[in-house]
């Protein structure tokens, strides 16, 4: 049975999940379908694992019939050489040869199938050695990539990148979470490609912010120029100040507040008529702590202001300081309820 996995890599390390994806074991189909039923979080996790799997898959090259026949002939010749002594020492060579050859042809076919299966699996599983950078809950991480590109990563974020970078080749990274990029230009103007769940960001040298959480991808361009390319081939060129959020219906620039979107880099959380349910999601994403909202109307309540975002306790104290909410910690995480009015 599947476990309560948290990251796409956890799924990719499970042979039964890979068997389900590659449809090599029908008995796993119902298990994984049941595991996802009624659980949007698990369904999203599976989609991320599949996206990562497809992004790292190498092109599959199917051998031609001529190649298969050549491989079989080579194997048959080798088998006949190895069985020559046995055939020559028998007085009934002509009688036994058909059964021997038939048996070895079956072995040859099996060997070819094994080789093809091995090549198929190698093709599927290559590429998982991508270097990776992670940030824990409640922390911001600043790193340099092999080409000198600077990245600032928000809490609970992961960035992986293709190995073996060299000038002239595409530099590819995959983002799960939120990352601000200051991409370094190269003499040969190598492309820098950021992959998210729904689109790719193609640049040479620039500064921009990428968020990829819960299937809600967005990009804010601060400097330079980037091209957004969706999975179905649509493209959009962004200029400094442009903001693009994923919309399955249309690819277009939208209104986005730069200060609000980049406040996390300064360890601040700017809220502008943000619902308490959205705030609860932010807390879960950044600190990994479950949030329970008590009361029928609490989830839709709105809050505006600037809260500190470098310490969960301080953030909750600031929320209580508004005098509109009571905050407590329980066995199941943080509890937020409307402030009780005293008579």
Claim to verify: residue 105 and residue 15 sit in the same structural domain: no
| Per-residue pLDDT at 173 exceeds 80 | yes
3 lies in some domain? no
Distance CA(138)–CA(7), nearest Å, equals 18
Claim to verify: residue 146 and residue 245 sit in the same structural domain: yes
Indicate the pLDDT class of residue 63, thresholds 50, 70 and 90.
Answer: low
Claim to verify: residue 136 and residue 256 sit in the same structural domain: yes
Which of 260, 288, 313 terminates a domain? The answer is 260
Claim to verify: residue 225 and residue 205 sit in the same structural domain: yes
Claim to verify: residue 137 and residue 256 sit in the same structural domain: yes
- Total count of residues recorded for the chain: 343
Claim to verify: residue 121 and residue 138 sit in the same structural domain: no
Percent of the chain with pLDDT over 70: 73
pLDDT (tens digit per residue) in 124-155: 444 446 789 999 999 999 999 999 999 999 99
For 162-301, strand residue ranges (E) read 171-182, 192-195, 199-203, 207-213, 216-223, 226-230, 235-238, 243-245, 268-275, 291-294
1 lies in some domain? no
Please name the residue that has the structure tokens 């601060």: 222
Q: What is the reported pLDDT for 160? A: 94
Claim to verify: residue 307 and residue 240 sit in the same structural domain: no
Out of 43-52, 65-74, 194-203, pick the least confident: 65-74
CB-CB contact of 53 with 17 (8 Å): no
- The long-range contacts involving 326-335, CB below 8 angstroms and separated by at least 24 positions, are 330/292, 332/290, 332/292, 333/289, 333/290, 333/291, 333/292, 334/283, 334/289, 334/290, 334/291, 334/292, 335/291, 335/292, 335/294
Please name the residue that has the structure tokens 């979470």: 177
Which of 218, 236, 260 terminates a domain? The answer is 260
Out of 16-30, 215-229, 248-262, 309-323, pick the least confident: 16-30
Specify the pTM. Answer: 0.63
CATH number for position 164 = 2.60.120.1440
Helices 40-56 and 27-36: crossing angle in degrees, nearest 10, is: 130
Claim to verify: residue 217 and residue 243 sit in the same structural domain: yes
Q: What is the reported pLDDT for 238? A: 92
Beta strands 291-294 and 333-338: pairing type?
Answer: parallel
2 lies in some domain? no
Claim to verify: residue 73 and residue 188 sit in the same structural domain: no
Over residues 287-307, mean pLDDT? 90
Distance CA(94)–CA(60), nearest Å, equals 43
Q: What is the reported pLDDT for 216? A: 87
CB-CB contact of 226 with 201 (8 Å): yes
φ, ψ of residue 294 in degrees (nearest 5): -105, 135
49 lies in some domain? yes
343 lies in some domain? no
Over residues 274-283, mean pLDDT? 93
- Which residue range forms the structural domain that includes residue 304? 267-338
Claim to verify: residue 296 and residue 327 sit in the same structural domain: yes
Quote the number of domains for the chain.
4
Q: What is the reported pLDDT for 145? A: 95
Computed over every residue of the chain, the mean pLDDT equals 79
Claim to verify: residue 83 and residue 197 sit in the same structural domain: no
Claim to verify: residue 136 and residue 49 sit in the same structural domain: no
Over residues 284-307, mean pLDDT? 90
């Amino acid at each position: 049975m599947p476990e309560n996995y948290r990251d796409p890599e956890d799924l990719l390390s499970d042979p039964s999940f890979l068997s389900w994806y590659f449809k090599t074991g029908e008995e796993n189909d119902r298990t994984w379908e049941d595991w996802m039923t009624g659980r949007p979080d698990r369904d999203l996790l599976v989609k991320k694992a599949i996206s990562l799997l497809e992004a790292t898959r190498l092109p599959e090259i199917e051998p031609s019939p001529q190649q298969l026949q050549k491989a079989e002939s080579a194997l048959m010749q080798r088998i006949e050489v190895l069985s020559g002594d046995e055939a020559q020492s028998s007085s009934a060579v002509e009688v036994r040869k058909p059964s021997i050859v038939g048996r070895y042809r079956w072995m040859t076919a099996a060997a070819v199938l094994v080789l093809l299966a091995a090549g198929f699996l190698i093709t599927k599983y290559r590429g998982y050695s991508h270097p990776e950078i992670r940030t824990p809950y409640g922390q911001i991480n600043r790193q340099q990539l092999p080409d000198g590109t600077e990245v600032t990563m928000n809490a609970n974020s992961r960035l992986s990148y293709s190995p073996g970078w060299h000038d002239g080749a595409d530099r590819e990274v995959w983002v799960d979470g939120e990352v601000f990029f200051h991409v370094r230009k190269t003499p040969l103007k190598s492309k820098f490609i950021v992959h998210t769940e729904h689109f790719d960001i193609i640049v040479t040298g620039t500064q921009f912010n990428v968020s990829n959480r819960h299937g809600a991808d967005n990009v804010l361009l601060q400097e330079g120029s980037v091209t957004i390319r969706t999975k179905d081939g649509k493209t959009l060129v962004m200029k400094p100040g442009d903001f693009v959020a994923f919309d399955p219906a249309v690819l277009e620039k939208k209104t986005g507040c730069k200060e609000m979107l980049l406040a996390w880099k300064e360890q601040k959380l700017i809220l502008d008529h943000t619902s308490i349910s959205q705030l609860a999601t932010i807390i879960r994403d950044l600190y990994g702590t479950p949030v329970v909202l008590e009361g029928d109307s609490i989830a839709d309540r709105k809050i505006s202001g600037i809260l500190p975002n470098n310490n969960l306790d301080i953030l909750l104290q600031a929320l209580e300081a508004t005098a509109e909410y009571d905050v407590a910690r329980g066995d199941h995480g943080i509890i937020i309820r409307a402030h009780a009015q005293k008579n």
